[in-house]
């Protein structure tokens, strides 16, 4: 008898978790296509970020920026034929990296689906790796809330339900359900607004990506849009699993395995919390 699939049909929660992972990978591919191919700014790869973020969280229980960066750079060095990495970076010279780190939000949101505080703290760690501004850091925190809500409900109205946000005015406007002016800078706050707006207004991921191309959106907007769409609608509904021209079997298999491990760990953590006497949530 063959192994049972980690994401069987009829399990919408697991399908949405896989959707968030594959949606981020699809968004990164669409961004590269729009930008005309791979460049140095595309490092780190979104799929690598998701895999190594998951391994770090599953192995250590926490997300340390230096640990994740070391894992990614070691992976890159081995791929380039360099078996050892002697130095990660100079801590006194911040390094500008690509938007692939944003894909780590999918991993965090699956594992911390019912733990808002930890999810937001780990989103802040990802922002540090991006050298994000304070406003952009808040945008990633809000994005983690949107993804977690989507994973829990599958309802876009619930996922993007307006909420009060104390902090940056632009981030607060998006959190409260407002749209930013079209001449906003191409930063993570704008990406959050664009992704939220598109998922609320179209069921077609292809149409959503075409809209991002027309406005010259940043790679972050593509990745967030893919994550949001997958978390809301699931992998099967978006054609990530079925016989579909955008299907990447190797990517699907690796991320499906990661998603299954994250879901199992999240379930175990939740069961442990419920059974612990004197625990209050």
Per-residue model confidence as pLDDT tens for the chain (281 residues): 344 344 445 578 889 999 999 999 999 999 988 877 655 556 788 999 999 999 999 999 999 989 998 998 888 777 665 555 444 444 443 344 578 999 999 999 999 999 999 999 999 999 999 889 999 999 999 999 999 999 999 999 999 999 999 999 999 999 999 999 988 788 999 999 999 999 999 989 999 999 999 999 999 999 999 999 999 999 888 776 544 445 556 667 888 888 888 988 887 766 655 544 443 33
Give the pLDDT score at 33.
87
CB < 8 Å & 24+ apart, contacts of 170-176: 170/135, 171/135, 171/138, 171/139, 171/142, 174/139, 174/142, 175/142
Give the pLDDT score at 249.
65
Give the pLDDT score at 222.
96
Predicted TM-score (pTM) above 0.95: no
Where do the domains of the chain lie?
A: 12-83+95-265
How far from the centroid of its chain's Cα atoms is residue 89's Cα?
Answer: 24
Region 12-83+95-265: CATH code: 1.10.4080.10
Give the pLDDT score at 158.
96
- Angle subtended at Cα 143 by Cα 153 and Cα 125, rounded to the nearest 5 degrees: 125
Give the pLDDT score at 184.
78
Q: How far apart are CA 39 and CA 189, in angstroms?
A: 23
């Amino acid at each position: 008898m063959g192994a049972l699939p980690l994401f069987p049909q009829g399990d919408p929660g697991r399908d949405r978790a896989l959707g968030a992972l594959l949606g981020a990978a699809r968004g990164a591919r669409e961004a590269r296509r729009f930008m005309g191919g791979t460049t140095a700014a595309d490092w780190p790869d979104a799929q690598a970020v998701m895999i190594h973020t998951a391994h770090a969280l599953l192995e250590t229980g926490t997300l340390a920026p230096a640990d994740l960066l070391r894992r990614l750079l070691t992976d890159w060095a081995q791929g380039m034929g360099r078996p050892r990495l002697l130095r990660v970076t100079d801590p006194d010279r911040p390094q500008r990296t690509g938007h692939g780190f944003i894909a780590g939000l999918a991993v965090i949101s699956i594992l911390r689906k019912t733990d808002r505080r930890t999810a937001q703290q780990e989103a802040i760690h990802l922002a540090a790796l991006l050298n994000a501004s304070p406003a952009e850091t808040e945008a990633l925190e809000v994005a983690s809330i949107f993804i977690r809500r989507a994973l829990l409900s599958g309802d876009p109205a619930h996922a993007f339900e307006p909420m009060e946000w104390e902090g940056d005015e632009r981030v607060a406007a998006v959190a409260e359900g407002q749209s930013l002016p079209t001449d906003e800078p191409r930063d993570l706050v704008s990406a959050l607004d664009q992704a939220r707006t598109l998922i609320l207004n179209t069921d077609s991921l292809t149409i959503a990506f075409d809209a991002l191309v027309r406005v010259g959106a940043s790679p972050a907007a593509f990745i967030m849009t893919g994550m949001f769409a997958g978390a809301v609608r699931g992998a099967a509904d978006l054609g990530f699993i079925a016989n579909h021209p955008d299907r990447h079997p190797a990517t699907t298999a690796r991320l499906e395995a990661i998603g299954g491990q994250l879901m199992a760990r999240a379930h175990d953590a939740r069961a442990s919390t419920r059974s612990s006497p004197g625990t209050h949530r």
